[in-house]
């Protein structure tokens, strides 16, 4: 192996791919970073863009800017469509290819509609900036349309927002949307009272925040209900369309439906022709490499990784970053001549979810927090992980302003006409 010419290709500039690239600083390699978008996205705060609390530029950064000082890294804006394992090439949409010696796939996840992809036009998910601005537009347009609607039943449907999925994203959306309607928009319309907005959170299991301790789920349920959120448990969604949503034997007329119920992996397993789980995640080796191709690694939401107790590693940013660092250390060891097995060990730092602007739940295992103190700790943790002083300052000031006044400054309807249905 000629170390000086060892070429590493990274597909995906998310948490895993970026952390891997950073950890390889100083290694005797040259790196090509490929992503179909030109920015790194801080996904944990994406819902705040969707609900008008933050602007897009406050949670996303150009990849080229982040890597500008790394002369060993070349950044390509391109769409990957396949991997030639035998020829060790990444195939691009324009017909070109990029050769690699080591390949890292950190391609994330996409929405999963449990075999009902026809629901997507009516119930957008939340994975990209485009998703966030689409959701923001639909929510704000629903209020604008309700202002002009004279039929009481149609007006109430426009003022009803259904959220499918009671995990952290669904809970965070529900809490902040009801505050947007009840506090921020109050008094801005003449023909409607935005406090009549109904937010319904639909969860197929018997409790929301199923990954949290039961007492934290109970706290979150009560906190959302105090805000005015209606929670429907134990009934799976069976239909989404322009009229609303059906769950169990109940039909809910809703002008806006948001999907937070499930995710599927990117097409990485299809590109590789590799074995995958039901969500499409690649079944990787203990060191995160692909069976039969030790030079290919998969991390983050695209990889099926198990903890020692048999539970899957969660699809959260800290896990992807840990995996990126692990693969970088493995590659460095290999370049130094050490090919001994290096199984990945996940360290769980805890679960966090916020409920509106004054409450949150935090589960660190050894300690569990709720309420105001948890909200502040949640905010500090998220600000800490943002990139750059400017963004930390901007987000902090936005949150303090919302906390003090209830007002949100990013209430912009963009992207033109809504094309739902």
Q: Active-site positions?
A: 172
Q: Residue 183 has what DSSP assignment?
A: I
**Which residues are CB-neighbours of 78 under 8 A, at least 6 positions away?**
34, 35, 36, 92, 93, 94
Q: Could you tell me what percentage of the chain is helix, strand and coil, using 3-state DSSP and rounding each to the nearest 5?
A: 35, 25, 40
Instruction: Tell me if 279 sits within 8 A of 313, measured CB to CB.
Output: no
Four-point Cα dihedral 17, 18, 24, 25, nearest 10: 160
Instruction: Tell me if 63 sits within 8 A of 40, measured CB to CB.
Output: yes
Separation between Cα atoms, residue 169 and residue 348, nearest integer Å? 19
Phi-psi region of 88 (alpha: psi -120 to 50; beta: other; left: phi over 0): left
Q: Give ∠ CA 255-261-265 in degrees, rounded to 5.
A: 125
Four-point Cα dihedral 119, 123, 126, 266, nearest 10: 0
Question: What pairing do the DSSP bridges indicate for beta strands 7-11 and 102-105?
Answer: parallel
Phi-psi region of 113 (alpha: psi -120 to 50; beta: other; left: phi over 0): alpha
Q: Residue 59 has what DSSP assignment?
A: S
Instruction: Tell me if 372 sits within 8 A of 358, measured CB to CB.
Output: yes
Distance of CA 274 to the CA centre of its chain: 24
Instruction: Tell me if 209 sits within 8 A of 167, measured CB to CB.
Output: yes
Question: What pairing do the DSSP bridges indicate for beta strands 198-203 and 160-164?
Answer: parallel
């Amino acid at each position: 192996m000629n170390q000086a010419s060892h070429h590493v290709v990274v597909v995906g500039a998310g948490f895993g791919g970026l952390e891997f690239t950073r950890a390889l600083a100083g290694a005797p390699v040259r790196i090509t970073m490929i992503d179909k978008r030109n920015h790194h996205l801080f996904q944990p705060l994406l819902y705040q863009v969707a609900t008008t609390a933050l602007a897009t530029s406050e949670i996303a950064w150009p990849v080229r800017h982040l890597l500008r000082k790394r002369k060993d890294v070349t950044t390509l804006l391109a769409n990957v469509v396949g991997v030639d394992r035998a020829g060790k090439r990444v195939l691009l949409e324009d017909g070109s290819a990029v050769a690699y010696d080591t390949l890292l796939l950190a391609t994330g996840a996409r929405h999963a509609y449990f075999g009902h992809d026809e629901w997507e036009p009516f119930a957008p998910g939340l994975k990209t900036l485009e998703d966030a601005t689409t959701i923001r537009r639909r929510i704000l347009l629903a209020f604008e349309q309700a202002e002009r609607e004279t039929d009481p039943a149609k007006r109430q449907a426009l003022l009803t927002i259904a959220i499918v999925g009671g995990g952290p994203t669904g809970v965070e959306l529900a809490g902040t949307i009801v505050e947007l309607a009840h506090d921020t928009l109050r008094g801005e319309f003449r023909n409607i009272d935005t406090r009549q907005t109904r937010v319904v959170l639909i969860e197929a299991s018997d409790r929301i925040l199923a990954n949290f301790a039961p007492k934290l789920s109970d706290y979150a349920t009560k906190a959302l209900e105090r805000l005015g959120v209606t929670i429907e448990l134990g009934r799976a969604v069976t239909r989404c369309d322009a009229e609303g949503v059906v769950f169990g034997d109940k039909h809910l007329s809703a002008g806006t439906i948001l999907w937070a119920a499930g995710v599927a992996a990117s097409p990485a397993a299809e590109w590789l022709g590799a074995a995958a789980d039901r969500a499409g995640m690649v079944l990787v080796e203990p060191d995160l490499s692909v069976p039969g191709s030790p030079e290919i690694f998969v991390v983050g939401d695209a990889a099926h990784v198990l903890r020692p107790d048999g539970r899957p590693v969660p699809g959260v940013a800290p896990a992807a970053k840990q995996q990126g660092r692990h693969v970088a250390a493995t590659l460095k060891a290999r370049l130094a001549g050490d090919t001994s097995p290096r199984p990945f060990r996940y360290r769980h730092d805890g679960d966090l979810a916020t409920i509106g602007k004054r409450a949150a739940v935090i589960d660190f295992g050894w300690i569990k927090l709720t309420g105001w103190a948890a909200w502040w700790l949640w905010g500090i943790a998220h600000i800490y992980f943002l990139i750059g002083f400017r963004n930390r300052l901007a987000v902090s000031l936005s949150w303090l302003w919302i906390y003090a006044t209830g007002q949100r400054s990013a209430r912009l309807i963009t992207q033109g006409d809504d094309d739902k249905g």
